[in-house]
Structure formats: structure tokens, C-alpha cells
């Protein structure tokens, strides 16, 4: 039971049931964990004081580190033709995280001002972009696994 990553991220969204076995698929599990961390930010941003943003953003960063590590572990087994796209998406995710951190700092600096809600909204937008790009990374890894015949059929 995973979380669907798409245009809209919310507690009721789910990933469609995969067409192959996701048991022991660390990339899939780490994407799900990253999306959960983004949802935590979405749910807590108005509840925690600005100095508490760092803990939630740190959780996203740690989830991203695990995701990239799990992709690095499977990368040698994937076709070389797919590595460029996967590595490019990994770089994009790191830029997304840097953007989120920048937005967090602006939100912290402008808390208590009339622009406070705008900067929180920008944090949410940045975290959403990161979640969407994580889903794109999962799609790229999945396509590479299909090319390499590494995807196991889903048990019935």
C-alpha cells in the first residue's frame, strides 16, 4: 500500500498497484518514504514554528539520500543507455532539495511578516516538485529494469 505520486499529493492518493513484484524493491520503498516525508511537511507546516521547519526538511533530505543510495546500488545492473537519464534525474533531485532548503530559509526569515504564508506556499511547491521528480526517477529505474529483464512478475 503505497502513496501515489502525481499532480496532486494528498493523504488519499495512492500509487497504482504495480504490474510486477515490489517486494524487496528498495527504490520503490524509498520513493514512498520520500513522498511520506513530503506529506509530513505539507501536514505540519502550519503547525510547527518556523524553527521547526528544519526537522521536517531534514527528514526529506535523509529520505532523498536513501533513495539515491538505493538507485546507485542497482545502477550497475541496468543498461548503460538508461544511466544518463537516471543520473540526470538524481542531479535534478539534489537541485530540488537545495531549492527546498532555500525556500525554507526564506520562510524562516520572513515568519511573522505579511509574506509568511507566501514563503510557506513556496516551500510546499518546492517539496511537491521534489516528490514528482522522485516519481520520475522511479519510472526511469522501472523502465531500465524492464529493458534489462530485472522486473519480477507480481505474484497473484
Q: Kindly report, residue by residue over 80-116, the tens digit of the pLDDT.
A: 999 999 999 999 999 999 999 999 999 999 999 999 9
Whether the per-residue pLDDT at 4 is higher than 50: the answer is no
All structural domains of the chain with their residue ranges: 26-148
Q: What fold characterizes domain 26-148?
A: 1.20.120
What letter would DSSP give residue 154? Answer: P
Residue 8 CB-density burial (10 A; 0-12 exposed, 13-18 middle, 19+ buried):
exposed
Sequence-distant (≥ 6) Cβ neighbours of residue 111 within 8 angstroms: 49, 50
Mean per-residue pLDDT, 45-53: 94
* pLDDT tens sequence across 118-134: 999 999 999 999 999 99
Q: What is the mean pLDDT of residues 11-22?
A: 59
Model confidence at 51: pLDDT above 80: yes
The whole-number pLDDT of residue 16 equals 53
Amino acid at each position: 500500500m503505497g502513496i501515489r505520486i502525481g499532480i496532486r499529493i494528498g493523504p488519499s492518493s495512492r500509487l497504482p498497484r504495480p504490474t510486477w513484484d515490489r517486494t524487496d524493491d528498495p527504490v520503490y520503498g524509498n520513493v514512498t518514504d520520500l513522498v511520506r516525508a513530503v506529506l509530513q511537511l505539507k501536514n505540519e507546516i502550519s503547525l510547527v514554528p518556523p524553527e521547526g521547519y528544519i526537522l521536517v526538511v531534514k527528514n526529506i533530505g535523509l529520505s532523498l539520500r536513501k533513495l539515491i543510495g538505493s538507485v546507485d546500488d542497482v545502477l550497475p545492473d541496468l543498461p548503460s543507455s538508461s544511466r544518463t537519464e537516471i543520473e540526470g534525474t538524481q542531479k535534478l533531485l539534489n537541485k530540488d532539495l537545495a531549492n527546498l532548503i532555500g525556500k525554507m530559509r526564506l520562510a524562516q526569515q520572513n515568519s511573522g511578516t505579511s509574506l509568511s504564508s507566501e514563503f510557506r506556499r513556496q516551500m510546499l511547491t518546492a517539496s511537491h516538485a521534489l516528490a514528482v521528480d522522485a516519481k520520475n526517477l522511479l519510472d526511469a529505474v522501472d523502465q531500465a529494469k524492464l529493458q534489462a529483464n530485472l522486473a519480477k512478475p507480481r505474484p497473484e
